[in-house]
Structures are given as C-alpha cells and as structure tokens.
C-alpha cells in the first residue's frame, strides 16, 4: 500500500513511527516495551508472560477484564499481546471510525492496570494451559532445546511450567513498575493519519500516565557456541522425525547481506519448485520444509527444518548438502537469481496489501534496534542483489564453524549421529 512514514520523539522519552496510509479503512497500534524474560531472575522467568496476561484486564475505568474486552471489542476491534525473551508488545486493530476510542483504551490499560489478585490467579491457570498446549508443538520443543544447547537465553516449556510457582502478583507489579516507563516505550501507529490525527496521536502518547524516568533497556549479549554433538529429543509418539539444522555467524549482517541471504533462502526452500524442497518433493521424500534467518544483538543465524520419515531422512539430507554446496561453490545461474528476484518482488507486493502487513514491515526492526526499515526501497534492494554477494554471505555463515543439528523422534541417537556426520562437511571445509 502506498504510504509515508515519520518518526516522532516525545519529551517524555517515548518514540514511535506514524505510518500514513491514505484512505485506509482500519488503523493498527503496536506498543512495545523492552520487558522480556531476560530482565528477570531465572527463577522468576514467567513474570513477564504473566504480566502481559493480566495487564490488558481490569483498570481504573473498567473494574474487570471482561468489561475491558467487551468495551474494546464492541465494534469489532481486536486486541492482543505477546511476550518474548526481549520484549512485550501490545497490539490492536480497529475500524477507522473508532481509532481514537480504541487507542485511548489501550493506553488506559497500559498505564492504569489494577493487577487484581483474582485476575492474576485466573490468568495463572490460563498460562499453565497455554504452556501445556505449546509443549505439544514438536518443532517448538526442538527449537527451544537447541537454543538452550547453543547457550542462547531461553527456557523450555517444561522448565517454564515448573518455574511458574515461583511467581507472585507482587513480582508482576514490580516488573511492571520497572519496565513500563515512557523512555522504554516504542510504538507504531498505522492508518489514515491526517495531520490532525497525527497531532492527536502525539498528544495521547505524550500525556500517557507512565513514569518519565527510566531507560530503554539494552539487548543482551548472546554468542552461540558450536554443538559438539547433536541434540536428540526422544519421542516415541511421533511417526516422523523432526529436525533443525542451524549455522551461525558471530556478527550481525548488514542490510545488503540480509537481502542476499533472504534471496538464496527463497531459492532453496520457499517454493514447491525450489532447489531443495522441489527436488525432495519430486522424489517423494518430504511434504514440506522451511528455512529462514534470524539475528541476535551479536550473531546471525541460518536454519533449515522439516519433518521427514526415518527412511527418507538420509536422502533429504543429501539433497540439502548438495544444494548448499552448490551455493557455496558459486554454482548458481543468472537465470535462477533473476527468477527468484521476481518471486521475491511479488511476495513483497502481497505482504504490503493490508494496513497490518505494512505496519509489520516496520515494527519488527524498529522495536529490535530502532532502525526505520527503508520499506519503500525493498524492491530496489531486491533488484540490487548480485551473485557475488549471495556467495560471500552464504560462505560466511559456514566459515565461523558454529552449528548444530537437532532431532526429535524415535530414530535413536546412532541414526542422529549419522545424520550429523552427513552434513558436517559443509563446515569442515571452511572452518
């Protein structure tokens, strides 16, 4: 969607982006605080998550959580919140005609929560149910086990369930007071933001009743270490094995490097005709496969994952190794690069069709490191990707020799070791 973006910095320390999308019929709000699990003692890990659940509840105007939700949603508006290792983000989407009412309610909930003991007790049970449900997600469980083994900041769902009993409502209140300050607040508001509306939005955030003392907490230092042996999570209830392959580079990627790696990632797994997934499906080896990249403050990660039957796993791993080797050796044709660019351009256009999609193009990066993603320049950035850049960043992701394999299933440790040995040459040749 055609849009313009501007940043505002308020006297109270809050900062945010206003994404103006002319004639938009909805408006979205994303309000972020650096308030995740890394900021609490290990034994109190679940404090941020419980706080997120209780905060959008009873407040000074609406004395019960159900009252707040009924008032906010009465015209079809939507609200939610999410907690991660680094941040808590509150979000809402509403019809254009009631944007000021909904934003006012969200800011009221964030600034004037009551943290009632009865609501804490209820949400404690709801969080237990949520964590138990999450533990049934095999990919999630394997991912958490691997991140823990790499030395990244994480707890498994089983650990989190055990640690919940250490959390009291007073802990939630204390964490709220420490983290919910205006200098620690970042926001992205998207929609038809006329000058008058922008002025109103600025006043609402400037006058939010939160402490103006405090700071935006720094991201933690995380440097992953090579896994000397694979992570094996036995589970005899699944027929297929689940796997992740991770490789890390001990620095953050630049934007051109990220663009190049995103492109080759698409080329390898993101379509049914891609070089890894397409070849595997032609041979009937796997139904689907995913891969992607992520970054911490100090490192960059490229990962591959799928579920596959034991009998097909070795063949799939051979395809993975062969296709990655081709990239590392520069065996990529100009036509393959151009075809992938066209796909990436079309995908970008689809992602920007909605107000929420456009907003998310800014919020992730802005909340992470306060960089305003040059979203309108992404087509030019895609077009600028070249073969040498793809090869160089791909090689660097293997050159640091920080990697690991994780398997969840019933295939046994010996088979897991065999699969690890089959992919090890990707790093051994470059370490």
The pLDDT score that the predictor gives to residue 158 is 92
pLDDT in tens, 42-82: 999 999 999 999 999 999 999 899 999 999 999 999 999 99
Alpha-carbon distance values, 11 to 6, 96, 130, 202, 407 (Å):
17, 28, 39, 11, 51
Q: Report the domain count for the chain.
A: 2
The pLDDT score that the predictor gives to residue 431 is 46
Same structural domain, 260 and 322: yes
The pLDDT score that the predictor gives to residue 430 is 56
Same structural domain, 136 and 260: no
Same structural domain, 247 and 191: no
Specify if 216 maps to a domain: no
Same structural domain, 69 and 166: yes
Same structural domain, 144 and 237: no
Instruction: State phi, psi for 36 to the nearest 5 degrees.
Output: -80, -170
Q: What is the mean pLDDT of each run of 10 residues along the chain (431 residues)?
A: 93 98 96 98 97 93 92 96 96 98 97 96 94 91 97 95 96 98 98 97 98 96 95 96 97 95 95 93 96 95 97 98 96 94 89 86 94 87 95 96 97 97 87 46
Residue 249 β-bridge partners = 300
Specify if 213 maps to a domain: no
Specify if 302 maps to a domain: yes
We report the CATH number of the domain holding residue 128 as 3.30.830.10
Q: How far apart are CA 188 and CA 6, in angstroms?
A: 10
Specify if 212 maps to a domain: no
Instruction: List own/partner pairs for 64-73 with CB under 8 A and 24 or more apart.
Output: 64/119, 65/119, 68/105, 68/109, 71/105, 72/102, 72/105, 72/106
pTM summary value: 0.93
Specify if 222 maps to a domain: no
Same structural domain, 373 and 420: yes
What letter does residue 309 receive in the DSSP assignment?
-
Same structural domain, 373 and 409: yes
Q: How far apart are CA 190 and CA 210, in angstroms?
A: 23
Question: Domain end: 206, 221, 240, which one?
Answer: 206
Same structural domain, 174 and 253: no
Specify if 140 maps to a domain: yes
The answer to whether 238 touches 409, Cβ cutoff 8 Å, is yes
Q: How far apart are CA 6 and CA 106, in angstroms?
A: 22
Same structural domain, 68 and 132: yes
Domain that holds residue 70: 4-206
Same structural domain, 78 and 165: yes
Same structural domain, 245 and 392: yes
């Amino acid at each position: 969607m055609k849009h313009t973006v501007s940043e505002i910095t308020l006297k109270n320390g809050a900062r945010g982006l206003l994404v103006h999308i002319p004639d938009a019929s909805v408006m979205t709000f994303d309000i972020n605080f650096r308030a995740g699990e890394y900021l609490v003692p290990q034994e109190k890990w679940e404090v941020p998550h419980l706080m997120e659940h209780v905060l959008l509840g009873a407040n000074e105007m609406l004395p019960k959580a159900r009252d707040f939700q009924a008032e906010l949603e009465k015209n079809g508006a939507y609200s939610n919140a999410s907690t991660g290792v680094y941040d808590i983000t509150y979000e809402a989407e509403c019809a254009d005609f009631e944007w000021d009412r909904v934003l006012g309610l969200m800011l009221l909930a964030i600034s004037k929560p009551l943290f009632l003991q009865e609501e804490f007790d209820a949400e404690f049970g709801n969080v237990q149910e949520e964590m138990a449900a999450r533990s049934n997600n095999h990919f999630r469980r394997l991912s958490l086990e691997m991140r823990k083994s790499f030395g990244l900041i994480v707890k498994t769902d089983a650990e989190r369930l055990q640690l919940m009993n250490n959390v009291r409502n007073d802990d939630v209140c204390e964490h709220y007071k420490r983290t919910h300050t205006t200098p620690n607040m970042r926001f992205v508001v998207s929609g038809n933001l006329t000058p008058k509306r922008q002025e109103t939005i600025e006043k609402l955030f400037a006058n939010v009743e939160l402490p103006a003392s405090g700071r935006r907490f720094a991201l933690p230092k995380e440097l992953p270490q090579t896994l000397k042996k694979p992570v094996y999570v036995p589970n005899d209830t699944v027929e297929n094995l689940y796997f992740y392959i991770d490789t890390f580079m001990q620095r953050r990627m630049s934007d051109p490097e990220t663009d190049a790696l995103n492109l080759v990632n698409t080329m390898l797994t993101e379509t049914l005709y891609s070089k890894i997934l397409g070849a595997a499906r032609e041979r009937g080896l796997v139904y689907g496969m995913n891969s992607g990249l992520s970054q911490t403050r100090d490192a960059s990660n490229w990962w591959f994952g799928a579920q596959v039957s034991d009998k097909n796993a070795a063949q799939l791993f051979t395809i993975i190794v062969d296709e990655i080797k081709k990239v590392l050796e520069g065996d990529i044709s100009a036509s393959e690069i151009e075809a992938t660019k066209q796909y990436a351009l079309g995908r970008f256009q689809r992602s920007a069709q909605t107000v929420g999609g456009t907003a998310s193009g800014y919020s992730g990066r802005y909340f992470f490191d306060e960089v305003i993603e040059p979203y309108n320049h992404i087509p030019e950035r895609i077009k600028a990707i070249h073969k040498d850049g793809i090869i160089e960043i791909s090689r660097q992701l293997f050159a640091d020799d920080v990697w690991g394999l994780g398997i969840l299933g019933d295939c046994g440790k010996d088979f897991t070791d065999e699969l690890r040995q089959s992919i090890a040459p990707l790093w051994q040749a470059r370490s």
